[in-house]
Amino acid sequence: MSDNDRVFAGSIPALYERYLVPMIFAPYAADLARRLSELKPRRVLEIAAGTGVVTRALAEALPDAGIVATDLNPAMLEQARATGISRPVQWRQADAMALPFDDGEFDAVVCQFGVMFFPDKPQAFAEVRRVLKPGGTFLFNVWDRVEENDFADAIGDALATVFPDDPPRFMARTPHGYHDAATIRRDLATAGFAFPPRIETLAFRSRAQSARIVAVAYCQGTPWRNEIEARDASMLEAATDAAEAEIARRFGAGAIDGRIQAIVVKIEA
């Protein structure tokens, strides 16, 4: 993983919230909130909360639960606060590798599309297990391989034509780079979870009003932007244009939709 893969700064958080949240994150946030509401936890920790899409869903689904939402990136938490939420929750900057909470403090820990960014996943999972009460639940999701996610796959191909000698591979490398069920089971066991996880594949459709929105969302609202600008900052618009053209070629003009697919993992402490 490149260091830039974890940098969500500048205009990225606002574009992420405006475009990517409704396009790919909202349906999975609703799914996690539904699953967690069935458990009726009293105290919930969210790690890698990003701009708060899951936090907002949890606040609605669990009106009586205490919710602590954390993220490593201050800019993402600032965007989450600015977006607003239906009721008070605690926002806190925290590193999932060293959670600043007591042992057994939470009934549930939830993480949406964040564990892929953890540099040492067994260490992060061990921290989750530590802060969970005995019998508590860890619920998280990760993206399936990039080939199962239409827009990300198409834009990766487009960027390879713009930078043929050194294609930006952020999306395949990190967000879509941690999908192997055997690896997930091994890392959870290494972290000390004694029970086997329940692992489920879940597909939705990703919808956007235009190919341009998809291109801007991925090229300018994710760390893909960092990779593009690291190669040639003057090429950001050209890269976005190439991504738009490829999306339009594959999915048509006007409103479009494509497949998205993720893996949902649930395990008890």
Predicted confidence band of residue 3 (pLDDT cuts 50, 70, 90): low
What's the pLDDT score for residue 191? 98
Structure tokens at 30: 């609703």
Classify residue 202 by its DSSP letter. E
Predicted confidence band of residue 7 (pLDDT cuts 50, 70, 90): low
**How many other C-beta atoms can be found within 10 angstroms of the C-beta atom of residue 78?**
15
CATH code of the domain occupying 3-268 = 3.40.50.150
What's the pLDDT score for residue 253? 85
What's the pLDDT score for residue 10? 79
Mean per-residue pLDDT of the chain = 96
Angle value at C-alpha 115, between 74 and 55, nearest 5 degrees: 55
Q: What is the mean pLDDT of residues 51-56?
A: 98
Is residue 163's pLDDT more than 60? Answer: yes
Q: What is the mean pLDDT of residues 218-236?
A: 96
Q: What is the mean pLDDT of residues 15-40?
A: 97
Q: Distances in Å between the alpha carbon of 143 and those of 5, 7, 25, 101, 210?
A: 15, 19, 11, 28, 23
CB–CB of 87/63 below 8 Å?
yes
Q: What is the DSSP string of 95-158?
A: -TTS--S-TT-EEEEEEES-GGG-SSHHHHHHHHHHHEEEEEEEEEEEE--GGGSHHHHHHHHH
Structure tokens at 216: 């801007």
Predicted confidence band of residue 16 (pLDDT cuts 50, 70, 90): very high
Amino acid identity, position 263 = I
Predicted confidence band of residue 8 (pLDDT cuts 50, 70, 90): confident
The crossing angle, in degrees rounded to 10, of helices 211-220 and 236-251 is 140
- With CA atoms as reference, report the closest residue to 156 among 177, 141, 137, 138: 177
Angle value at C-alpha 255, between 251 and 261, nearest 5 degrees: 60
What's the pLDDT score for residue 5? 54
Higher pLDDT, 167 or 1: 167
Host H or E run for residue 35: helix 26-37
CB–CB of 238/107 below 8 Å?
no
User: End-to-end alpha-carbon separation of the chain, Å?
Assistant: 28
Specify which residues 207 forms β-bridges with.
257
